[in-house]
């Protein structure tokens, strides 16, 4: 399997290449050169398989020759061995045709663990084989950073730097990043928003000398391997509810468009998906873009669902690439317009192609709180604010008894106790794995939002830089 950049001007790479590279050198994102196809009989067989078996089947074509099936399966087993639920990603029925796909049973209680636990093992294996070191730079709206710390802490070949927006994530999210005390983990509070953090990452990736000097790598959802790992639960959930004999609808609490793009990728690989619904909070650039074709960020407003307080959704570029018939010149033109004018407008045909699969709804703060209360009253389930945005958006879709509605539950409510208490006047139970982070002593740096300061901070601390290059 080869991967190509959405902007068409970076070399094509194999799986190991995209795993270690993250963002393409032309500023684009890597996508498979061709979508593999799973036949209906293969999808049917997933029902009844363990998560590890299904994950091996779904991901193997994307890994290609880079890993043998036996070794790959062992890594997958190890990655999901850290989950407390034996099903890894269980389905819970909330209504006659409504299901929650619980993705928060990993070490940091958010769906980011499903990809990050595997990414940590894959990257570590690759570096050990080549005898090199790498520096990982991540921007986080809260959960990616925690998942990355958990996946990369104390790894000999990797130094991890995580930029988070100061004061704009929940205390539990921050503490999960700042209490590891691992010498290779460097959380950095940045004055600004998540978009500022993400822009810093992109700026530093654009500095080729720096990038090469510290062997910079990315674990944000711009890294294809994350999307790949997230495709698996779309398949397992659909197979459990009757795919390939029934079509499925998914509603996904969306920020950077990575998780829902994994659903789109699953569809392109043969899963019968009838509708993918983007659920946004007040930061509704995607809902506006799907309604009008105009992609135009506004100021980020803080909400009770901070992991979705994003206005520049990186992975949307992957969808645009598909919607314009994989015309990388067109993607370059739109992204150049975005860089120059801060907005772009999709052609009517591109928008129509997107809207044939996707719908989108914006859910404000009051409706999110009402939804948490309603779901708790009707089912006894505590939905965290991100999941509640998803549930509220799903409720705006038409009833369709022929096609189950699956809402992705992206975080455990205990990560957002203040919002939960406000909505249902009760605190969620705190799982043991979170209790440890809540009581530990915090260590992190604070920097202004300037790329130069972050670059210097990394050069001073990344072990590879101190060795003057290769280890």
Ligand X SMILES: *Cc1c(COP(=O)(O)O)cnc(C)c1O
Which residues of the shown chain bind ligand X in the complex (CB under 6 A)?
Answer: 110, 112, 143, 221, 253-259, 307-308, 386, 410-411
Tokens of 215: 């062997």
- The β-bridge partners of 3 are 13, 32
Distance of alpha carbon 233 from alpha carbon 106, whole angstroms: 14
CB 100 within 8 A of CB 251: no
Minimum separation from the CB atom of position 64 to ligand X (A):
24
Compare residues 422 and 463 and give the one whose CB is closer to ligand X.
Answer: 422
CB 413 within 8 A of CB 257: no
Distance of alpha carbon 324 from alpha carbon 6, whole angstroms: 11
Minimum separation from the CB atom of position 453 to ligand X (A):
26
CB 184 within 8 A of CB 153: yes
Compare residues 258 and 417 and give the one whose CB is closer to ligand X.
Answer: 258
Distances (CA, A) of 200 to 86, 208, 299, 312: 38, 14, 17, 13
Q: Which residues contact 439 (CB under 8 A, 6 or more apart)?
A: none
Compare residues 112 and 433 and give the one whose CB is closer to ligand X.
Answer: 112
- Catalytically annotated residue among 78, 112, 415, 450: 112
Compare residues 210 and 416 and give the one whose CB is closer to ligand X.
Answer: 416
Compare residues 73 and 256 and give the one whose CB is closer to ligand X.
Answer: 256
**Nearest 10 degrees: Cα torsion 65, 66, 71, 77:** -110
Tokens of 115: 């990809």
Minimum separation from the CB atom of position 182 to ligand X (A):
21
Compare residues 187 and 244 and give the one whose CB is closer to ligand X.
Answer: 187
Minimum separation from the CB atom of position 173 to ligand X (A):
9
Distance of alpha carbon 228 from alpha carbon 352, whole angstroms: 26
For 325, other C-beta atoms within 10 Å of its C-beta total 10
CB 236 within 8 A of CB 89: yes
Distance of alpha carbon 367 from alpha carbon 361, whole angstroms: 12
CB 107 within 8 A of CB 113: yes
Q: Is 302 helix (H, G, I), strand (E, B) or coil?
A: coil
Minimum separation from the CB atom of position 146 to ligand X (A):
9
β-sheet with 445-447: strand ranges across: 216-217, 134-139, 158-165, 185-190, 445-447
Minimum separation from the CB atom of position 280 to ligand X (A):
9
Minimum separation from the CB atom of position 410 to ligand X (A):
3
Compare residues 147 and 248 and give the one whose CB is closer to ligand X.
Answer: 147
Tokens of 233: 């639960």
Is residue 39 annotated as a catalytic residue, yes or no?
A: no
Active site residues: 112
């Amino acid at each position: 399997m080869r991967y190509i950049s959405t902007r068409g001007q970076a070399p094509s790479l194999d799986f190991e290449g995209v795993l270690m590279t993250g963002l393409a050198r032309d500023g684009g994102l890597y996508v498979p050169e061709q979508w593999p196809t799973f036949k209906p009989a293969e999808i049917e067989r997933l029902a009844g398989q363990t998560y590890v078996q299904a994950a091996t089947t779904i991901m193997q074509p994307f890994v290609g020759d880079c890993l043998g099936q036996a070794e790959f399966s062992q890594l997958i087993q190890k990655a999901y061995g850290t989950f407390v639920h034996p099903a890894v990603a269980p389905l819970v029925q909330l209504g006659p045709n409504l299901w929650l796909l619980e993705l928060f049973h990993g070490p940091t209680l958010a769906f980011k663990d499903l990809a990050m636990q595997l990414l940590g093992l894959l990257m570590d294996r690759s570096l050990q084989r080549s005898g090199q070191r790498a520096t990982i730079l991540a921007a986080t709206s809260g959960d990616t950073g925690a998942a990355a710390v958990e996946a990369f802490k104390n790894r000999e070949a990797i130094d991890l730097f995580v930029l988070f927006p100061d004061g704009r994530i929940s205390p539990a999210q921050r503490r999960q990043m700042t209490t590891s005390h691992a010498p290779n983990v460097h959380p950095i509070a940045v004055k600004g928003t998540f978009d500022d953090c993400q822009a810093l990452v992109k700026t530093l990736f654009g500095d080729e000398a720096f990038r090469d000097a510290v062997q910079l790598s990315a674990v944000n959802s711009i890294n294809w391997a994350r999307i790949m790992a997230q495709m698996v639960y779309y398949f397992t959930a659909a197979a459990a509810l009757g795919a390939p004999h029934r079509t499925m609808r998914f509603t996904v609490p969306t920020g950077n468009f990575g998780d829902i793009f994994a659903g789109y990728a699953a569809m392109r690989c043969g899963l019968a998906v009838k509708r993918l619904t983007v659920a946004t909070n007040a930061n509704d650039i995607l809902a506006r873009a799907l309604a009008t074709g105009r992609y135009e960020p506004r100021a980020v407003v803080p909400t009770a669902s901070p992991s979705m307080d994003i206005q520049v959704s990186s992975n949307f570029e992957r969808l645009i690439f598909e919607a314009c018939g994989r015309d990388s010149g067109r993607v370059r033109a739109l992204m150049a317009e975005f860089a120059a004018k801060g907005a772009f407008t999709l052609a009517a045909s591109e928008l129509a192609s997107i809207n044939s699969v996707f719908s989108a709804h914006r859910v404000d703060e009051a409706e999110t709180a009402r939804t948490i209360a309603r779901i708790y009253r009707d089912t006894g389930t505590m939905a965290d604010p991100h999941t509640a945005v998803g549930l509220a958006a799903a409720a705006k879709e038409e009833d369709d008894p022929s096609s189950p509605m699956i809402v992705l539950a992206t975080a455990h409510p205990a990560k957002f106790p203040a919002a939960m208490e406000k909505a249902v006047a009760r605190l969620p139970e705190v799982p043991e794995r979170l209790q440890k982070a809540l009581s530990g002593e915090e260590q992190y740096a604070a920097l202004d939002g300037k790329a130069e300061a972050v670059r210097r901070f990394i050069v001073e601390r990344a072990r590879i830089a101190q060795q003057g290059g290769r280890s």
